Amino acid sequence: MLVKVKLEKAIKDALKSYTDAVSDVLDKVGSTDENKSVSINDIAKIFKDASNDCASAIADAVDEYIKSATITLNVGTLMTPMPGLVSPVGPVTGVITLAAPTTLTNAIS
């Protein structure tokens, strides 16, 4: 089962890292201390790096969220074997009817 709370927390964490980077840049820009002064190019690079990190973290969170899905097949579900499936006595044809519920986990990649 997909757990929305985990995805939401991961996205909030990624956005917090981004806002922390933005706050840091604004602090440096507003500072009169010569050691903290930054150029326009430095600011752009900091924003670019923070944006890339944030986007990557969100993409990872969505990927992990989707991969956490569990697929359940109910009793009576008809499944067609994949082409090329062979048993020790020959090729497999027709359909398979499930006699009990089956859960597929980690099937999404």
DSSP label at residue 36 = G
Give this prediction's pTM: 0.58
Q: Give tens-digit pLDDT for 27-76.
A: 877 766 666 567 788 888 888 888 999 999 999 999 888 887 777 777 77
CA distance linking residue 42 with residue 29, whole number of Å: 10
Cα angle for residues 59, 61, 64 (degrees, 5° grid):
110
Name the least confident of 3-7, 11-15, 62-66, 93-97: 93-97
Handedness of CA 81, 85, 86, 91 (dihedral sign): positive
* Angstrom distances, CA of residue 72 to CA of 56, 77, 100: 30, 10, 11
- Non-local CB neighbours of 63 within 8 Å, separated by 6+ positions: none
* 3-class secondary structure, 72: strand
